[in-house]
């Protein structure tokens, strides 16, 4: 399976289900930025239920390419995101195990959203022991018959995939929350996360 997919911020589990099954992976680099998508957000399981962590970006319009979108540095969103992850996952089985590997995301100062997203995918892949050697598009095409087109997964509202239950930190409180950021699976399942991903099916 040859897939085309958007690099997003700590992508959803559905992203990594697609990546785990792919023979080749190509990242869409030539699209226009769309607000209200997972390009600059992820969802985690907080003590109060589902929580959106949004990466602030400088003002842009729908004609601006995603790769040109710059991060807003007026306030320390990285510190806020890491605190939220600690609150959500400090008691999970594998948070401390992966914490140091993922820490560069919350300390390094990126200029562009795309660079941030690519690094989150690279670091998560290392945690999963997933050998990731993606290609990148150099031109935008609406129709891509040579690929399984998973670019729609960047829009969480259109991603209706349902996955098998696994143990989450606050299961007893809120029940199972489906298709959160890959970090939820990673912190809860650790070395078993890759086996889980390969067993799942995409619609």
Q: What is the number of structural domains in the chain? A: 1
Residue 70 bridge partners (DSSP): 112
Which residue, chain included where needed, has tokens 């997919």? 5
pLDDT-based confidence at 60, cuts 50/70/90?
Answer: confident
The per-residue b/e assignment along 64-88, b for 16 or more CB within 10 angstroms, e otherwise, is eebbebebeeeeebbeebbeebeeb
Q: pLDDT over 70 for what percent of the chain?
A: 100
Q: Which of 103, 105, 101 is nearest to 9 (CA)?
A: 105
**Cα separation of 82 and 53, whole Å?**
10
**Cα separation of 180 and 165, whole Å?**
12
pLDDT in tens, 13-45: 999 999 999 999 999 999 999 999 999 999 999
pLDDT in tens, 128-183: 999 999 999 999 999 999 999 999 999 999 999 999 999 999 999 889 999 999 99
Q: What is the CA radius of gyration of the chain?
A: 16
Contact 9, 156 (CB under 8 A): no
pLDDT of residue 173: 87
The verdict on pTM exceeding 0.75 is yes
pLDDT-based confidence at 61, cuts 50/70/90?
Answer: confident
Among 74-78, 97-101, 114-118, which is the least confidently predicted range?
A: 74-78
pLDDT-based confidence at 75, cuts 50/70/90?
Answer: confident
Average pLDDT, the chain: 96
Domain ranges, residue 53: 2-199
pLDDT of residue 77: 97
* Helix, strand, coil fractions of the chain, as percent rounded to 5: 40, 15, 45
Q: Mean per-residue pLDDT for 86-106?
A: 97
Grouping H, G, I as helix, E, B as strand and the rest as coil, residue 170 is coil
Q: Mean per-residue pLDDT for 103-113?
A: 96
Q: pLDDT over 90 for what percent of the chain?
A: 93
pLDDT of residue 159: 96
């Amino acid at each position: 399976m040859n897939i085309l997919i958007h690099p997003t911020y700590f992508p959803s589990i559905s992203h990594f289900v697609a990546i785990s099954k792919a023979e080749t992976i190509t990242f869409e680099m030539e699209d226009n930025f769309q607000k209200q998508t997972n390009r600059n957000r992820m969802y985690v399981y907080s003590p109060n239920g589902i929580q959106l962590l949004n990466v602030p970006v400088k003002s842009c319009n729908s004609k601006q390419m995603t790769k040109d979108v710059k991060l807003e540095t007026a306030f320390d969103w990285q510190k806020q995101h890491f605190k939220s992850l600690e609150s959500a996952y400090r008691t999970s089985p594998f948070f401390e195990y992966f914490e140091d590997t993922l820490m560069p995301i919350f300390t390094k100062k990126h200029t562009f959203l795309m660079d941030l997203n690519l690094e989150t995918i690279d670091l998560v892949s290392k945690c999963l022991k997933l050998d990731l050697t993606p290609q990148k598009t150099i031109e935008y095409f609406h129709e891509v018959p040579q690929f399984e087109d998973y670019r729609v997964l960047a829009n969480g509202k259109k991603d209706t995939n349902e996955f098998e239950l696994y143990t989450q930190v606050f299961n007893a409180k809120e029940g199972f929350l489906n298709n959160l950021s890959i970090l939820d699976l990673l912190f809860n399942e650790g070395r078993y996360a890759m086996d889980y991903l390969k067993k799942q099916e995409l619609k």
